[in-house]
A and B are shown apart, each in its own frame.
Chain A
């Protein structure tokens, strides 16, 4: 990582959110509001089979009976769920090659530094680009297809692989799970679908770039990843959104399923518009991410770097059902200015000899609020289960807050849980030591923060780690002095 340092430090010079622009792309937008008519509208536009309509309507009807959760340590004005449009898709669709993609979209991706071009092959990354709600392009499908790996948009999967979708969609996060998951189930427009067949090791990192573009449209992604017996897949999710003055709602659902001996590694760098320095604007990010280690000796690992969004409400979790399965959660959450984050994980130990590891690094600057909320639940059946939790908070300045809410429930006497927590400040001494060696204050903060997060960053794939380091530096600009 030392190699990248200069590069990163140079990037720290531009102060405002870099990715705030709106690309003029023709879009088809659903009427504002939510009712059964709108659900039908979405279902029709997407040309889905009948069973999906029923699925969506069930979720919608359940959602109507639910209350928005209020237990998180975040504050925001009430959301008018009837004041949002629930579907937006670029009009030109069904592309077969890169050349067919709307040039505006391609330019936007290029601006974002998303290389949807052939170079991507060299980098070994296949990109399923999601613009607003509908998938625009999927690359390297053929190469993956040779191995029997399915990597496509959720819409396509519903059409082509209905039996897999029906079997697993909602199996980890049912629509009854929570308010936002129910909403997502009712109105989700697209997302990614991955299936890795038994014994196959996916040879490249699968990646998706999400981007919210249309005004006043929420984005409701749905991602489903299934790793069959003895397979391995690493999935990268990276996000940027254009600058907007009004709040935008985002409620994604991600479900991961690992069968016997399978391993899923899911990495996120989230950089949505956090609002301006006065706290105006910014994305509301209410996400439900959960994986299940269904099979023996399976493993699910979440790594996230969260620097964006006005509000983050997110708890990537693992249900450890299979004997000897492993769940991991590595997280860096940065909040600056008026951002609020309430994030953490849940590790539910059901199987014997299951193990989980949680490493959370919260960094708060400006007047932000940064909360870790985690649950480790060891059920009666989970003989010899183990959990290790490390939960660190770093404060920059004196107007921010860091909070930790760890819940540990152990119902099995053979289980072992460990919890370590620290809170520290970037001290004057540390900064001065760096400055005395010729490093500017701003660069020193970036250096110290990156060091603080090293354990988490080291779990990201290399190119993602570099991106994440830059993001950390950028999002903490102007936080000292």
Chain B
């Protein structure tokens, strides 16, 4: 099957500093790719660039999303084409209810898919069903977007939006950060319900923990702006055990002195 996403030699800078230094990645429908790496390795930059944040400068490389040049598309065009980003830090929008926000979003996306807009009743029905999947109370729909939500609620809310908007490619940016084990399981079960032969996931995470529940097909290690190693799900376990330093591109298994030895 044709890849949904093809990233070739992507080099990206912000404020003159190069963060991604030649990333290559192919994601096919039905696959779950985990991208792991230490802090500052460029994981979130990759997510942001794919979603279309404007403050990043693409120095080189191409990104094809279902054959189209993703980097030339506006953020909303990417979203309507089926690219979804679950934000690491979801944004609060005071006074705008979840219902208004999501119905507006969903109907924009449906328009592109050639579907009729959902009326409020149909929307409510669909939204309630999907909220149940991630254990969110229906009263959330009348609350302002992310306002006053706890950290865990915000993350579940991101996954709820994923369930509702049914993207072709979902990028989860550290969705597991700040979640306790119960919330993590709920989030994972929501994602797993959405796994299908047509849909792909890119799961960005610092820790292996989430990958116990969302089993990836591939694990990639992003280090210093490059993917330095790719493997199956067992790579995540290895990383959990050994950390990241042994993968440093410029050193073979350098073992840094511990505090005691210094």
Which residues of A line the B interface, CB within 8 A? Answer: 1-3, 5-6, 9, 427-430, 432-441, 443, 447-448, 450-455
Contacts and interface: CB of A to CB of B under 8 A. Distances in A.
Nearest to A9: B104
A438 B105 contact: yes
Interface string B75-87: 1101110001101
B95 A451 contact: yes
B104 A447 contact: yes
Contact of A5 (B53, B95, B104, B165): B104
A437 B55 CA distance: 18
Q: Which of B55, B76, B105, B106 has the most CB of A within 10 A?
A: B76
Nearest to B80: A438
B103 A2 contact: yes
A451 B53 contact: no
Given A451-B95, A454-B95, A5 B90 contact: no
A445 B104 CA distance: 13
A437 B99 contact: no
A437 B165 contact: yes
Contact of A439 (B94, B97, B99, B105): B105
B96 A448 contact: yes
A394 to B, nearest CB: 10
B120 interface: yes
14 contacts: A2-B99, A2-B120, A435-B52, A435-B79, A436-B52, A436-B84, A437-B101, A438-B165, A439-B105, A440-B108, A441-B76, A450-B95, A453-B95, A455-B95
Contacts, number: 94
Contact of A451 (B91, B107, B144): B144
Taking residues whose C-beta sits less than 8 angstroms from the other chain, chain B's interface range is: 35 or more
A433 B96 contact: no
A6 B80 contact: no
A430 B93 contact: yes
B95 A452 contact: yes
Contacts of B144: 451
B10 interface: no
B53 A432 contact: yes
Given A1-B100, A443-B104, A436 B94 contact: no
B73 to A, nearest CB: 11
Nearest to B107: A6
B26 interface: no
Interface of B: 51-55, 74-76, 78-80, 84-85, 87, 90-91, 93-97, 99-109, 112, 117, 120, 144-145, 161, 165
Nearest to B109: A438
Contacts of A441: 76
A1 B75 CA distance: 26
A435 B91 contact: no
A414 B10 CA distance: 67
A433 B87 contact: yes
Contact of B94 (A1, A429, A451): A451
A5 B103 CA distance: 9
A1 B96 CA distance: 10
Contact of A430 (B78, B91, B99, B161): B91
Contact of B93 (A3, A443, A448): A448
Contacts of B107: 6
Across the A-B interface, give the 9 residue pairs with the lowest CB-CB distance, nearest first.
A451-B95, A451-B96, A437-B105, A454-B95, A438-B79, A435-B75, A438-B108, A433-B91, A2-B100
B93 A451 contact: yes
Contacts of B103: 2, 5
A437 B95 CA distance: 18
Contacts of A450: 95-96
A185 to B, nearest CB: 40
Nearest to B144: A451
B104 A439 contact: yes
Q: Which of B52, B53, B94 has the most CB of A within 10 A?
A: B94
Contacts of A435: 52, 74-76, 79
Nearest to B102: A437
A6 B100 contact: no
A432 B96 contact: no
Nearest to B91: A433
Nearest to A427: B91
B225 to A, nearest CB: 22
A453 B85 CA distance: 28
Contacts of B99: 2
A429 B52 contact: no
Contacts of B51: 432, 436
Nearest to B96: A451
B107 to A, nearest CB: 6
Contacts of B105: 434, 437-439
Contacts of B80: 438
Contact of A440 (B54, B76, B93, B106): B76
Given A438-B108, A439-B104, A452 B79 contact: no
A448 B93 CA distance: 7
